[in-house]
Amino acid sequence: MKTSIPYGKHYIDQDDIDAVVDVLENHPLTQGKKVSDFEDAIAEFVGAKYAVAMSSWTAGLHMACIAAGVNDSNAVVTSPITFVASSNAVLYCGAEVIFSDIDKSTINLCPEELRATVKKHKNIKAIIPVHFSGLPCDMESIKKTADGINALVIEDAAHALGATYPDGSKVGSCKYSDMTGFSFHPVKSIAAGEGGMITTNDQAIYKKLLRLRSHGINKLDDDFIDKAAAVTGADNNPWYMEMQELGYNYRITDIQAALGESQLKKLPRFLDRRRQLAKRYDQLFSDIAQIEPIQSSYRDQSSHHLYVIRVKYEFIGITRAKLMAELETEGILTQVHYIPVTSHPYYKNLGFKSVDYPRAVTFYGQALSLPLFFTLTNVEQDKVVNTLKRILSL
């Protein structure tokens, strides 16, 4: 049986296994200290005051929108080139989704397009910039636009743990946003099976997020609303808690948190290798006119969750479907990130037309994600490139 090279793959070592086994044998499996340890480690790594872990970044997006005050009387702007969770979370809150087209070079929200977009709409409560492939958006410009309309900023950094802004500060520091969120899906920078994390520097948002992830029940030093029920005489009732708002069961487990914290210790190694591989791909493709690596000018900022190329299929004489199938027969698995959100039937039924986002449509028509992960060897990478060249007769 031929061994396949996947487009993404997690890496687990004995330290990770030991961390998980330690929880299984010696600690609570959920709602224990390992969760707060993981939160503290992420907050310290990115340079934020607070961090809140949850069951997934999709859950985190939902909570972030609620914490931002998103509801059925307002709207949120995001990118059409993203996973559907970025916009679905807005719909969960009953709000209007507004898409703004991407920049051709970065594949992130285009600052100029964003400025034009917000002028056409009212009641925009938040902007969700998506750091596609791990490259940070132009957050300084986006923050300025958001401030101009009194909107909050929620960074969708599912791809971008470890990425840095031009000044060297880390994505997640919330230097240009109210909240930033990460994903710990197995193909991301670090793996926790599933899971997500929101960082913020706002204490009120932090406390609200803690309540939202656990059924809306008060946490930390939140004041009780029904003070009479909280005490017996002069004594606090040790069992007492109260649901103060509608929340959810979006908790992460201590098993996942232990794995995530162990993985975080290896993140610098993961990032270095991904950057090396991305630059090596760039070099290997440098003399091929029909293939254009995206974001090649920003390698030292990105966390390189993905390695995406633009392929000029119209000049090559092969369809993307055929190319991906032939690569798979050679043991090379590829993917496409992403189908524009506006092209999904559900969003079409809401009235969105992809033709309104021409840069997103053009990018989607050319995009192909190649294998990129920590343990990808140079030999395997050479196989990917040489097989691609052979199939395309380049």
Task: Tell me what pLDDT residue 24 has.
Answer: 98
Same domain, 260 and 273: no
Q: What is the CATH number of the domain that holds 156?
A: 3.40.640.10
Report the candidate in 108, 58, 56 with the shortest Cα–Cα distance to residue 87. 58
Same domain, 287 and 253: no
pLDDT tens digit sequence for 48-94 = 999 999 999 999 999 999 999 999 999 999 999 999 999 999 999 99
Which of the listed residues 215, 236, 264 is the one where a domain comes to its end?
264
Alpha-carbon gap, residue 114 to 127, rounded angstroms: 9
Q: Which percentage of the chain shows pLDDT scores above 70?
A: 99
As for how many domains the chain has, the answer is 2
Same domain, 181 and 294: no
Same domain, 229 and 241: yes
Task: Tell me what pLDDT residue 2 has.
Answer: 65
> What's the predicted TM-score (pTM) here?
0.97
pLDDT tens digit sequence for 272-281 = 999 999 999 9
Task: Tell me what pLDDT residue 394 has.
Answer: 74
DSSP code per residue over 160-172: -TT-B-TTSPBTT
pLDDT tens digit sequence for 377-392 = 999 999 999 999 999 9
Same domain, 58 and 186: yes
Helix (H, G, I), strand (E, B) or coil at 387: helix
Q: Exposed (0-12), middle (13-18) or buried (19+): which is 268, by Cβ within 10 Å?
A: exposed
Q: At what angle do helices 320-329 and 378-391 cross, to 10 degrees?
A: 130
306 has a pLDDT exceeding 80:
yes
Same domain, 308 and 324: yes
Same domain, 71 and 135: yes
N-terminal to C-terminal alpha carbon distance within the chain: 28
Parallel, antiparallel or unpaired: strands 196-200 and 50-54: antiparallel
pLDDT tens digit sequence for 309-318 = 999 998 888 9
Question: One-letter amino acid identity for 138?
Answer: D
1 has a pLDDT exceeding 80:
no
Q: How many CB atoms lie within 10 A of CB 341?
A: 25
Same domain, 201 and 303: no
Mean per-residue pLDDT for 226-250? 94
Domain assignment of residue 319, yes or no = yes
Domain assignment of residue 232, yes or no = yes
Domain assignment of residue 314, yes or no = yes
Q: What is the CATH number of the domain that holds 371?
A: 3.90.1150.10
Angle CA(158)–CA(162)–CA(165) in degrees, nearest 5?
Answer: 95
Domain assignment of residue 373, yes or no = yes
Same domain, 242 and 318: no
Domain assignment of residue 4, yes or no = no
Q: At what angle do helices 33-46 and 254-264 cross, to 10 degrees?
A: 30
Same domain, 240 and 340: no
At residue 393 the predicted structure's pLDDT band, cuts being 50, 70 and 90, is confident
Q: Which percentage of the chain shows pLDDT scores above 90?
A: 96
CA 27 to centroid of chain Cα atoms = 29
Task: Tell me what pLDDT residue 104 has.
Answer: 97
Task: Tell me what pLDDT residue 15 has.
Answer: 98
Domain assignment of residue 8, yes or no = no
pLDDT tens digit sequence for 118-135 = 999 999 999 999 999 999
Same domain, 188 and 51: yes
Which residue range is the domain that position 346 belongs to? 267-391
**What value does the mean pLDDT of the chain take?**
97
Same domain, 248 and 272: no
Task: Tell me what pLDDT residue 200 has.
Answer: 99
Angle CA(295)–CA(366)–CA(279) in degrees, nearest 5?
Answer: 30
Domain assignment of residue 5, yes or no = no
Domain assignment of residue 1, yes or no = no
